C-alpha cells in the first residue's frame, strides 16, 4: 500500500495528538498573517463580485486540530478586511474552503468543530451561515486534486517539506542507512544523504508547481524546515 494512504498526523485531542503538539506551527501562522493579507490584496480585484461571487480556496496539508480552522479563519478575515477597505464594497463574496491532507487525516475532529466556528464567524464577522463553506479534499498535494482553472488561492504552511517518497540512495546495497536511521535531513546528515533529500525535494516541488499552476491560483507557502520523507 502506498505511504500516502496510511500516513497521517496523530488525530484526536490526546496528549500525543497533533492538536496538542502544534504550538510552533500556530506561532508561524500568526506571524505569517500579514503576508496572507498582502497576498489577498494582490489577488482580489477592485470589484469583489467579479470572482463569480465565490472565492475558492484550498489549504494544502491542513492536518487537524485548532490550527486547521485558525488557517481558515485567517483566510476569511483577510478576504473580508480587503473587501472592507474597498470603497463602495458590495456584499462580501461566498468563500469556499477545501481542507486538504492525506486520506487518513482526522477530518472528523475538524468537522465536529465547524458549528462553533460558523457561530463565531457570524458573531464577529457578520457572515451568515452558508456564506462560508468548508469541505475536505483528501489526497496528496503532489497529485491532481482540483479541475483546471477552478481555484483562486492556495495556502500551505509547514507542508511542503514533507516529501512524496523516501529519497533514493539512502540505503546501501548491504542495507545500511547512510542517514543514521533518521527520517529527515539535517546538518548532521552526511553529504550524500543531504543531496538525496535535496534532489527529491526539487522533484517534488517542481511537480507541485506544475500541477497547481494549472489551477489559476496565487500561492502562499512556508516551506522553511528540514525535508522529511513520508
CA dihedral angle for residue 146, residue 70, residue 165, residue 212, rounded to 10 degrees: 30
Is the predicted pLDDT of residue 151 greater than 70, yes or no?
A: yes
Give me the sign of the Cα torsion angle 68, 216, 5, 133.
Answer: positive
**Is the per-residue pLDDT at 48 higher than 60?**
no
Q: Does residue 229 surpass a pLDDT of 50?
A: no
Q: Report CA 138 to chain centroid distance, whole Å.
A: 12
Q: Which of 3-7, 86-90, 148-152, 172-176 has the lowest average pLDDT?
A: 86-90
Residue 102 has pLDDT above 70, yes or no: yes
Percent of the chain scored above 70 by pLDDT? 82
pLDDT the model gives residue 57: 93
Mind listing the pLDDT tens digit for each residue in 49-90?
Answer: 556 678 899 999 999 988 999 999 999 998 888 877 765 455
Handedness of CA 45, 47, 48, 49 (dihedral sign): negative
Q: What is the mean pLDDT of residues 186-207?
A: 91
Q: Compare 44 and 116 and report the one with higher pLDDT.
A: 116
Q: What is the mean pLDDT of residues 182-193?
A: 87
Structural domains of the chain sorted by starting position, each given as residue range(s) with its CATH number in brackets = 3-218 (3.40.50.150)
Cα–Cα dist 219/104, whole Å: 25
pTM: 0.84
Amino acid at each position: 500500500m502506498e505511504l500516502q494512504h496510511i500516513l497521517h498526523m496523530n488525530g484526536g485531542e490526546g496528549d500525543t495528538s497533533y492538536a496538542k503538539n502544534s504550538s510552533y506551527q500556530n506561532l508561524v501562522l500568526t506571524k505569517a498573517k500579514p503576508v496572507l493579507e498582502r497576498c489577498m490584496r494582490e489577488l482580489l480585484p477592485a470589484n469583489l463580485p467579479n470572482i463569480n461571487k465565490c472565492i475558492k480556496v484550498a489549504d494544502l496539508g491542513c492536518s487537524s486540530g485548532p490550527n486547521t480552522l485558525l488557517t481558515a479563519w485567517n483566510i476569511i478575515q483577510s478576504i473580508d478586511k480587503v473587501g472592507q477597505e474597498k470603497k463602495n464594497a458590495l456584499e462580501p463574496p461566498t468563500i469556499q474552503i477545501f481542507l486538504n491532507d492525506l486520506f487518513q487525516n482526522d477530518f472528523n475532529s475538524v468537522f465536529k468543530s465547524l458549528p462553533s466556528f460558523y457561530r463565531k464567524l457570524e458573531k464577529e464577522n457578520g457572515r451568515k451561515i452558508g456564506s462560508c463553506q468548508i469541505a475536505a479534499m483528501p489526497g496528496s498535494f503532489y497529485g491532481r486534486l482540483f479541475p483546471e482553472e477552478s481555484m483562486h488561492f492556495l495556502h500551505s504552511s509547514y507542508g511542503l517539506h514533507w516529501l512524496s517518497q523516501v529519497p533514493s540512495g539512502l540505503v546501501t546495497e548491504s542495507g545500511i542507512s547512510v542517514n543514521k536511521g533518521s527520517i529527515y535531513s539535517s546538518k548532521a546528515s552526511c553529504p550524500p544523504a543531504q543531496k538525496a533529500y535535496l534532489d527529491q525535494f526539487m522533484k517534488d516541488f517542481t511537480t507541485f508547481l506544475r500541477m497547481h499552476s494549472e489551477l489559476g491560483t496565487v500561492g502562499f507557502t512556508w516551506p522553511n524546515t528540514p525535508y522529511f520523507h513520508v
